[in-house]
Structure 1
């Protein structure tokens, strides 16, 4: 079951704001739930067990005589609070009985042996070309002006011409700090799914993933295997960072053969989208 802090974290990843009322609005009518009066004679069965127990002991004390009789059968249970205890089958401890020994507190060593999981930490720059091709830069900041122009030229040269220019936004994990973590990898995957689900309202329905660069968690997080993401269930193309491409002509020439086929994939996907519409 997802806890409230984790639920707020996933909503934050989806781009949804959670509103929580902290104060009563001015001139608002007070909640009637806070003004309910208990009935004068409530049914004893509706009372809490502790209240019923004290009531039983008090009734037994009031009903007991001031002086016990001279002779009383040993088979008869004693009067007073002891009678109530006897009727309860020894569930209530005697007044002079020694208190039960508290359970030993867990040792400091036992607490220290429990592993403490840490959340995965990463920052990506993400955009989606015409809502079809997901483009990820595993880095803290978006592309510079030079890198942005280089990316546009590469896409046009490869025959990928989106209707709208790509606009990157930051996806950072974790969204909220200080939360307990039980399964770091799975929780990060759920956060990424929530992020993409929230972007569906903007028309994001990615069918292919392009990655420029790499980081410590990308391969495990996306479940990459031979050019395919098991997490996102789509083909993946991964190339060098835009900074490396912008700094050297040799890197651009080495990349060019790898861009072959983009135009075909873009047109095929475009035709399939039109048929679906």
Structure 2
């Protein structure tokens, strides 16, 4: 049978409360108890400035003397050196003087103030953490895994938008083997997270989103953007082509050729706005058929799978 002290020790080790009788019953045997040695708690200095004062007061008095003798030795060695080269002044050791200066007991020297000056640098990082994130929303798809489509709108595409987009691609000679399926991308992905560099983080997030779709067969060759959002264009980092350069504009974030045209809502607008937008669009997409044919893959597959949609065109 396990002795009572051993049983209580096991229960205490497992975090279980050992229940004992509150009252001594008549003619009952007394509860066995062990004389466990009580651990002596170490005295710790109080937190804050008082505790630091206590630690400084307990320092041996020989510390100051050793520092003084060390300084005298260094000064004598510097005097014996060549007069052409001036020895640098020894830096004062970080001792009770600097600690008491931080507590406000003494006024620090000019050298001490210069040494403590770099401690103000973290304030800039704290200021950057309170920055507002770059906000944008778009609908993303990839034509046969080759051409990346970005529609600058927060809401998913409706049947009318999808029909218009397919008509534009067909009219330009771009006929993907599979119908594009759009995913919504809203940045930031989660609210409330600390932000230090809004533009860099948005560009990295967009790049990671596209790279993460590689498992679907995405390998974009160029980027087509319908509509314009300033935040989205900042994330894409477009590089405009100069008059003397034959290179088209490209996205520095994705390292791909970039095309940006009117939005789908603008193309569907009335009162002559949509007609003018369509005229500008047709003048910009004349080379799409040749570009699509030049980059046609032999397998003819890839990208998003087809999805049946009775509302589409």
Secondary structure of the residue aligned to 1:178 is coil
Cross-structure match for 2:264: 242
Conservation of the 8 A alpha-carbon contact between 2:267 and 2:275: yes
For 2:298 and 2:61, the matched residues in 1 are separated by 78
Alpha carbons of 1:183 and 1:103: their partners in 2 closer, same or farther (altered >3 Å)?
A: farther
Size of the aligned set, in residue pairs, is 181
Cross-structure match for 1:136: 150
Cross-structure match for 1:151: 165
Matched, 1:199 2:199: no
Matched, 1:179 2:183: no
For 1:90 and 1:255, the matched residues in 2 are separated by 85
For 1:121 and 1:271, the matched residues in 2 are separated by 35
Secondary structure of the residue aligned to 2:296 is helix
Give unmatched runs, 5+ long, in structure 1: 1-33, 36-53, 56-84, 92-99, 105-109
Q: Could you tell me how far 1:218 is from its partner in structure 2?
A: 2.3
Cross-structure match for 1:119: 133
Give unmatched runs, 5+ long, in structure 2: 1-12, 15-41, 44-56, 63-99, 105-122, 241-248, 301-313
Q: Could you tell me how far 1:103 is from its partner in structure 2?
A: 4.8
TM alignment of 1:59-70, pairs within 5 A? none
Secondary structure of the residue aligned to 1:134 is strand
Matched, 1:232 2:254: yes
Alpha carbons of 1:136 and 1:143: their partners in 2 closer, same or farther (altered >3 Å)?
A: same
Alpha carbons of 1:156 and 1:186: their partners in 2 closer, same or farther (altered >3 Å)?
A: same
Alpha carbons of 1:90 and 1:130: their partners in 2 closer, same or farther (altered >3 Å)?
A: farther
Comparing both chains, which one has the higher relative contact order based on Cα–Cα distances under 8 Å and sequence gaps of 6 or more? 1
Alpha carbons of 1:255 and 1:89: their partners in 2 closer, same or farther (altered >3 Å)?
A: same
Cross-structure match for 1:270: 296
TM-score (norm 2): 0.52
Q: Which portions of structure 1, spanning 4 or more consecutive aligned residues, are displaced by more than 3 angstroms? A: 88-91, 100-104, 271-274
For 2:103 and 2:163, the matched residues in 1 are separated by 69
Q: Could you tell me how far 1:193 is from its partner in structure 2?
A: 1.6
For 1:214 and 1:130, the matched residues in 2 are separated by 24
Q: Could you tell me how far 1:89 is from its partner in structure 2?
A: 3.7
Cross-structure match for 2:279: 253
1:60-87 residue CA offsets vs partner (Å, 9 max, x unmatched): xxxxxxxxxxxxxxxxxxxxxxxxx98x
Q: Which moved more, 1:241-250 or 1:257-266?
A: 241-250
1:190-214 residue CA offsets vs partner (Å, 9 max, x unmatched): 1112111210010111110000011
For 1:250 and 1:137, the matched residues in 2 are separated by 19
Alpha carbons of 1:273 and 1:262: their partners in 2 closer, same or farther (altered >3 Å)?
A: farther
Secondary structure of the residue aligned to 2:284 is helix
Cross-structure match for 2:48: none
Q: Could you tell me how far 1:217 is from its partner in structure 2?
A: 1.3
TM-score (norm 1): 0.58
